[in-house]
Amino acid sequence: MSRTARTCLAAAALALAVSAQESSEIRIELLAKGYIFTEGPAWSKDGFLIFSDTPTGKLFKWIPGRAVETFREDAHGPSGNAFDAQGRLYTCETHARRVTRTDKNGAIETLAEKWEGKRFNAPNDLTVSKSGHVYFTDPAFGEQSDHRELDFYGVYHVPPKGPIKLVAKPAGRPNGIALSPNGRVLYVVNSDERNVRAYDVDHNGDTANERVIVSGIAGVPNGIRTDEKGNLYIAAKGIAVYSADGQAVHTIEMHEGPSNCTFGDPDGKSLIVTARGAVYRIRPDANGAY
């Protein structure tokens, strides 16, 4: 794959239909293409986007108005990414089976790699609260299932201080994960069950009151994000949008199956979507809760 292909920026915008109660049309811009499988878009408040190309083991960086550049060559099968309030980058490294944190100077530390002495399956996606609590999912897809030490799929909580905590052991594989704008509700997508579970989060970051708030999602749901109103944006068969109480709002149809999404750009109003070998940008009428 050539450098040109990896960093191609498209000037044209593609019209996409929106299936909703009132049909309308939005436009989406192709930001970059030529990758194998993009994942983990995360917007830094310092004004740039980080995303993963999982099979190549690389992280990429995009600054609006510039070409995409390689951020890290050896990110060990990166999937989900997230930034904390201090601007540090968190990454789920599926090949190394761990979660890492990278500070602004580029120093990398391992945040989580084992549960009760056994290595994680393959951390997939994560979210970080404003107070520094980290939550991540640990499913196993494809060949990842051949090397498991744990006999369950997990959702975990890494507090700023203290040991890692187990949030849930779902029967199906947990995937995307996000917090509500006020940080009081944790949402977890389950790809096998095609639903979204919600958990109340207390002032200590602990979770309780598990319940299913969205079910019967079309396609295989993957990543999830919330906007300032608490609406859920789920990468599945297109981007499925639900209200905070789980009512379907509309679906943004896409020609390529999306893997994940995040809100970004300096004004926080763009929905940036990773989809197979490309990265797209949509301008919905919403601000992200990133």
**Tokens 């598990």 — which residue?**
210
> What is the tens place of the pLDDT at every residue in 206-246?
999 999 999 999 999 999 999 999 999 999 999 999 999 99
pLDDT, mean of residues 243-252: 94
Q: Is the pLDDT of residue 5 over 60?
A: no
Q: How many CA atoms lie within 13 A of 30 on its CB side?
A: 22
In the chain, the percentage of residues whose pLDDT exceeds 90 is: 83
Q: Are 246 and 187 in contact (CB under 8 A)?
A: no
Tell me the CATH architecture of domain 3-282.
6 Propeller (2.120)
Q: Determine the pLDDT at residue 23.
A: 36
Structural domain spans, the chain? 3-282
Q: Determine the pLDDT at residue 108.
A: 97
> What is the tens place of the pLDDT at every residue in 165-196?
999 999 999 999 999 999 999 999 999 999 99
* CA-based nearest residue to 262, from 115, 125, 109, 145: 125
**H runs (alpha helix) in 233-285:** none
pTM of the model: 0.91
Please provide the average confidence, as pLDDT, over all residues in the chain: 90
Q: Is the pLDDT of residue 17 over 90?
A: no
